[in-house]
Chain A
Amino acid sequence: MLVFERGREGRGLSLIPACDVELVMPEKSDKRKRALHLPELSESELCRHYTDLAKECYGVNDGFYPLGSCTMKYNPKINEDMAALPEFTEIHPLQPEHTVQGCLEVMKTAEEYLCEITGMKRMTFQPAAGAHGEFTGLLLIKAYHDSRGDKKRTKIIIPDSAHGTNPASAVMAGYSVVSIPSGEDGCVDLEKLREAAGDDVAGLMLTNPNTVGLFDKNILEITKIIHECGGQCYYDGANLNAVMGMVRPGDMGFDVIHLNLHKTFSTPHGGGGPGSGPVGCKEHLAEFLPSILVERGEKLSFVKPRNSIGEIKSFYGNFLIVVRALTYLMTLGREGVPQVSGNAVLNANYMMHKLKDCYTIAYDGVCMHEFVMSLSDLKKKSGVSAMDIAKGLLDNGIHPPTMYFPLIVDEALMVEPTETESKETLDEVIAVFKKLYKTAERDAGELHAAPVHTPVTRLDEVGAARHPVLKYEFSK
């Protein structure tokens, strides 16, 4: 039942005292005439409504959540407590500097830790999400070339295995996209890269480990090829969980990076956001960073980068997300950070190893924090698709892996277990995966019909897009 269908006219909460000054209303020409339909509910009805909705959601504490490339790790509770401190939540973004020293300390410390982890010089927290960070990073690259009078660089090279946000961001930053095919091993094809590299290339966007879960061992050669043609190297930090504390993007030759605090640094995804996509860069790009940076001195202060690209949103980013990420980093410390990547990689390899005899692994070998299976053979054999297996997992209380991504793998399921899962959980899940494979061979129809134990069964997506119903219609 929709919230609009609950309650009765005249119900409501008792929230605000009567106005204690003379009432003033807009002039007639600016006064709202259109009726305003908002719910009228008692507090108890309101709470019951959202509790009902919460029951039909799946969070990281509901079970295994191996959504590849999304790093659905456990979200620590202390992070939430720290982000709820009134000394953070009640601070106006435009308060005088000397009254917000704590906020500046959070931003500065987080910058210092994350720069050390990534091998970058400076970092901005203004980008609100990964894609926002990509856009920002590309504008830094553009500003850098422009500052050198180098205006002929119009292209960004992006492997065909990349996230869709990469090419979309490149276009928003005014670039055209050169998509290069991956080699047979799923990594960058060096020959193709050399062919694409030239004096019209502004830069390369790359995820390493890449989206098939492999660390590109030619990484130093890759960044060298780009640098030799005068381009800049952009690191998409979506997969940093695989290598943090072990390898730094800065040491791989990257000039600018974005991180996803909502992936690698344990902040919750909120059903789609808010995230945080800080952008770090090497010294030569720092003068172009957006908005403000925090400097240490007698006291902490805001400083505008000399040749800043400007603002990319209001204020300083999703600050409370940064508080959570810093809390996480303080908890882990220098010993804990590499243990995260180590165990993330171990869990992925363990799962891959145990599923190998059943499912086809798209790229065999040692994987990093995630691996990709292709259900192409199974589909040919039984008619059961990656989608069907995913829906079968739902009936077993497991969130499916990322489906049909990366695009270079047919019938792909991309599995990222993360380091916060125990061996028992992995063993249980492996058993379910195998059971579903057997079901597929025996009775494809059962999986075509899945899920059946969820609040709704498969939904008509085609109908939804063809005849969009995007809001509730109130009866006149």
Chain B
Amino acid sequence: MGSYIPGTEREQKEMLAETGFDSMEELFRHIPEEVKINGELKIPSGMTELEVREKMRRIAGRNRVFSVCFRGAGAYRHFIPSVVKSVISKENFLTAYTPYQAEISQGILQSIFEYQTMICELTGMDASNASVYDGASAVAESIAMCCERKRKKALVSGAVNPYILETVKTYCSGSGTELVIIPEKDGVTDRKALEDMIDEMTACVCVQHPNYYGNMEEAGTIGEIAHGVGAKYIMSVNPISLGVVKTPGEYGADIAVGDGQPLGLSLAFGGPYLGFMACVSKMTRKLPGRIVGQTVDKNGKTGYVLTLQAREQHIRREKASSNVCSNQALCALAAGVYLSAVGSGGLKNIAVQCMSKAHYMAKLLEEAGCTIENKGSFFHEFVTVSDMPAEKILADLEAEGILGGYPLDEYRVLWCCTEMNRKEDMDRAAHIVRRCGKC
């Protein structure tokens, strides 16, 4: 059995005696007998480190790692520089609590301040929080930021990632926010439908850009429609795309959110990831969760603190803007290191490579007999439809060690390319798809 308790039996006895107890059991004597566990827990015996390691390795070995991956749909395989892991493994970062004690937490606080700056730089917004759970919960929280007494209706595009939509539904069902889904047309938000649906009761309009299918939305126009009735405009964006794509700020968004996973976080079977949230300055005090601000100490030295805490649950309780307490701080640190490592030029290069490779792959798949559904411009994801069952295409790819795109239905597949997809792998994958169509 393993244990992390330093106290020996002898020390336990000493401490019990000094404290006035005869036994460990006596420490729990005041607990009613009828609620105590009778006997032992029904879980296995503890193990040594060697045994645990072998057992976990065996379990991990039942997973299959694909060396080539064309699957995205909300989780993206990107290159992660070695410095990222090195920094987030430092135990002073890894094992610290939320930086309540600012005097001994300047490192974490400064790293969050830097992260907030980078998120504002990426999105063209004025203020960022210190992170929330992930991209989907960030969208849900951003809708709550927009609701007012007279505006309780949220219009959300049907072309956002299904997880975002489902998460927003759950949050809205709790808060009593009316959620209306804007239909999609030709793979993008139906602008005409939006114009018909929007009214003075609308709190916000939310789109994903590029959207679930990789398509570029009419992001500027949709923002104008939202602002036309005094509603807020929320954009959910892929942070990598911001290396080349217009910022939410340039499109006129009031709030920019997204999942920071592409910024140095591994796929990890879905988490931990990172939700980023940024907004225009007049909405700053509506942001949920932690925010770090710059200030000075008693001697005038620059320092950082958790700030604007009057919004938060530990002060405001039931009147708080959100219940968020723990966030994804270490993931935000990873994103900060990642962005520092790649730099402005690097991020742009990665974004261009994602987009270029997706277009190359789309062309290959078209030649292999698939039809590309995307009508206009797309970023690093696109949808194919063909008369070959998606299941068959994906099984053939899997047999060759390739994780193909994500099946949307029987015949449609959502593909993704990043800087990780080499030309030769794309050629090989397309060849397999072509062969699949011929048999």
Contacts and interface: CB of A to CB of B under 8 A. Distances in A.
A378 interface: no
Nearest to B293: A464
Given A38-B347, A310-B169, A346-B12, A471 B127 contact: yes
A251 B35 CA distance: 6
A246 B144 CA distance: 41
Nearest to A104: B62
Nearest to A100: B63
Interface in A205-228: 215, 217, 219-220
A457 B301 CA distance: 8
Contact of B324 (A131, A170, A337, A474): A131
B342 A24 contact: no
A103 B269 contact: yes
B65 A90 contact: yes
Contacts of A312: 137, 167, 170-171
A169 B127 contact: no
Contact of B249 (A34, A81, A323): A34
Interface string B263-275: 0001111111100
For the side of the interface on B, what is the size category? 35 or more
Contacts of B18: 350, 353-354
Contact of B318 (A19, A168, A272): A168
A458 B348 contact: no
B193 interface: no
Contacts of B439: none
B91 interface: yes
A12 B346 contact: yes
Contacts of B122: 36
A441 B46 CA distance: 49
Interface string B57-74: 101111111100101011
Nearest to A51: B90
Nearest to B314: A164
Interface residues of A, number: 198
A303 interface: no
Interface in B33-77: 34-37, 40-47, 49, 52-53, 55-57, 59-66, 69, 71, 73-75, 77
A345 B30 CA distance: 13
A56 B301 CA distance: 15
Contact of A168 (B6, B269, B305, B322): B322
Nearest to B14: A423
Interface in A8-24: 11-13, 15-16, 19-24
Contacts of B326: 128-131, 262, 269, 272-275, 277
B259 interface: yes
A388 interface: no
A342 interface: yes
Interface stretch (A72-80, A190-198, A279-287): A72-80
Interface stretch (B79-87, B150-158, B184-192, B195-203): B79-87
Contact of A272 (B272, B298, B327): B327
Nearest to A469: B294
Contacts of A132: 133, 137, 323
Contacts of B101: 58, 390, 394, 399-400
A51 B318 CA distance: 39
B315 A57 contact: no
Interface in A344-381: 345-347, 349-350, 353-354, 365-366
B374 interface: no
Nearest to A248: B37
A32 B246 contact: yes
A423 B13 CA distance: 11
Contact of A129 (B171, B325, B345): B325
B272 A321 contact: yes
B97 A456 contact: no
Top 10 closest pairs, chain A to chain B, by CB: A333-B46, A315-B270, A270-B330, A272-B329, A93-B270, A53-B107, A331-B2, A274-B272, A87-B60, A129-B326
B63 A61 contact: no
A180 B371 CA distance: 63
Interface string B76-106: 0101010101110111111111111111111
Given A167-B317, A174-B176, 10 more contacts: A22-B359, A95-B66, A217-B32, A247-B37, A314-B136, A330-B52, A332-B46, A335-B45, A349-B27, A366-B27
A335 B39 CA distance: 11
A378 B131 CA distance: 39
A165 to B, nearest CB: 5
A12 B43 contact: no
A428 interface: no
B130 interface: yes
A345 B124 contact: no
B62 A102 contact: yes
A202 interface: no
Contact of A85 (B12, B60, B377, B398): B60
B303 interface: yes
Nearest to A90: B65
A43 interface: yes
Interface in B1-39: 1-7, 11-12, 14-16, 18-21, 24, 27-32, 34-37
Interface in A314-348: 314-321, 323, 326-327, 329-340, 342-343, 345-347
Given A91-B65, A131-B326, A394-B101, A59 B170 contact: no
